[in-house]
Amino acid sequence: MQSGIVRLGLAFLLACGAIWQPPVLRAQAPDASAAPATTSGPEAAEADQQYSLSVEVEVVTVPVTATNSDGEFVTDLDLNEFTIFDNGAPQKIESFELSQEPLSLAILVETSSRIQSLLPEVRSAGILFTQLIVGESGEGAVLTFDRDVKLVQDFTGDADRIETSFRNLQPGGDPVRLSDAIARALFLLQRRPEGRRRVIVVISEARDQGSSNSLGLVLRSAQQLGISVYTVGLSTLRSMMGRPASQGVASPFPAGVAARPTPANQPPTPDAQTNWGAANMNVLALIAELVSTAQNLVAGNPLAVTATATGGQDFSSGGKGELEQALGRIGEELRNQYMLTYRPNNLDNPGF
């Protein structure tokens, strides 16, 4: 086997079982203004209620990505170069191939006011999903989340509809209900026909606030359903640098008192503040964000945790153009995955 790295969805190995006791997730009422869907069903009549995700696991599918020391994908491996262990027991691989299954992709986009200045860049990413990820035989759905979770485009193979849903993204309110958005996507993906790969891509800040579903419960559901989640982190600090001061937190200083000192011997007039840069961003909000970011790093990054737990990958997009690069890398990985399947031979062991 060529030297390099083989990364697989370890979560799927840990999560397989005979019959899963389904957790109960909370579903938000669907948005009545969602774009026309390619399918119809009982979802249109759902209210804000609890629903169950359930799956019977007899054959486990494991996505595997292999790269060499240069980070290039390796696509010429043989079956005898792979070994699967499940709960410590070796398993017989029933099928092995580069994935040819059509893709069902749920795209989750944060639209909170916190990342408003980044929305133009996000809007332009719609074409990348249609070109690099969905492909001719694939389908995509677009959901937005802030204080609400909305289905703005149900599953469709129409590239124009996906791109239009991105062009029409509008900023909403706070907080950022990441876990609830993933839960909604899992519920939608579970309804897709068999024989399709089901994947979620999240474009968001690394924060989760106000969700009624716990992240742990959502991750367990994704593992049991065999759904990988890829995440692309948006830079809150970069967003705030492009946000007018009037959109930040209110200044505690009295009128006429500068939020930031100007150079020595220069009166803090409005023009001087503008030239010195204080009028172009809210310094107090930026400081608060720096403190919050440090706290989030200590507590853990929910995007990285989600991607790792579900066999996906986490990317950051702190600089201009990095969002496009991350989505391009995700598209490459999905096109170069091996799909291994096996039937667990130790279902009677504890934990199944």
Residues 6+ apart with CB under 8 A from 291: none
The confidence band for 66, taking pLDDT boundaries of 50, 70 and 90, is confident
Q: What pLDDT is stored for residue 240 in this prediction?
A: 59
Distance CA 315, CA 206 (A): 11
Q: What pLDDT is stored for residue 22 in this prediction?
A: 45
Residue 82: closest CA among 69, 70, 72, 92: 92
Distance CA 115, CA 237 (A): 9
Amino acid symbol at 320? K
Q: What pLDDT is stored for residue 39 in this prediction?
A: 38
Q: What pLDDT is stored for residue 32 in this prediction?
A: 45
The residue with tokens 């009037």 is 246
The residue with tokens 């009545």 is 32
What are the phi and psi torsion angles at 351 (to 5°)? 100, -5
Distance CA 107, CA 259 (A): 39
CB of 204 closer than 8 Å to CB of 176: yes
What is the signed CA dihedral for 103, 209, 53, 101, rounded to 10 degrees?
A: 10
Residue 84: closest CA among 341, 352, 317: 341
- Mean pLDDT across the stretch 120-133? 86
Provide the 8-state DSSP code for 130: I
Residue 68: closest CA among 6, 139, 137, 136: 6
* Residue 352: Cβ within 10 Å count: 15
- Mean predicted lDDT score pLDDT of the chain: 75
Region of residue 257 (left: phi > 0; alpha: psi -120 to 50; beta: else)? beta
* CATH architecture of the domain formed by 4-39+50-239+292-342: 3-Layer(aba) Sandwich (3.40)
- Mean pLDDT across the stretch 176-200? 94
Of 33-37, 83-87, 269-273, 339-343, where does mean pLDDT reach its minimum? 33-37
CB of 309 closer than 8 Å to CB of 223: yes
What are the phi and psi torsion angles at 230 (to 5°)? -105, 140
- Mean pLDDT across the stretch 54-76? 78
Amino acid symbol at 84? I
Region of residue 105 (left: phi > 0; alpha: psi -120 to 50; beta: else)? beta
Q: What pLDDT is stored for residue 208 in this prediction?
A: 92
Q: Is the peptide bond before 175 cis (omega within 30 degrees of 0)?
A: yes
The token duo for 274 is: 């503008």
Q: What pLDDT is stored for residue 223 in this prediction?
A: 83
pTM for the predicted model, two decimal places? 0.72
The tens digit of pLDDT for each residue in 266-294 reads: 565 655 555 444 444 454 554 454 444 44
The confidence band for 239, taking pLDDT boundaries of 50, 70 and 90, is low
Beta pairing class for 197-204 and 60-68: unpaired
pLDDT at 257 over 60: no
DSSP result, 20-31 = ----EEEEPPPP
Helices (H), ranges, the chain: 10-15, 119-123, 126-128, 159-167, 178-190, 215-225, 236-241, 270-276, 283-299, 302-309, 322-335
Which residues partner with 228 through β-bridges? 199
CA angle 99, 104, 331 (to 5 degrees): 60
Which string of b and e fits 116-132 if b means at least 16 CB within 10 Å?
A: bbbbebbbebbebbbeb
The tens digit of pLDDT for each residue in 77-118 reads: 888 888 888 778 888 998 888 878 899 999 999 999 989 989
Half-sphere exposure of 191 (CA within 13 A, CB side): 16
Residue 331: closest CA among 313, 316, 318: 313
Which residues partner with 333 through β-bridges? none
CATH 3.40.50.410 residue window(s) in the chain: 4-39+50-239+292-342
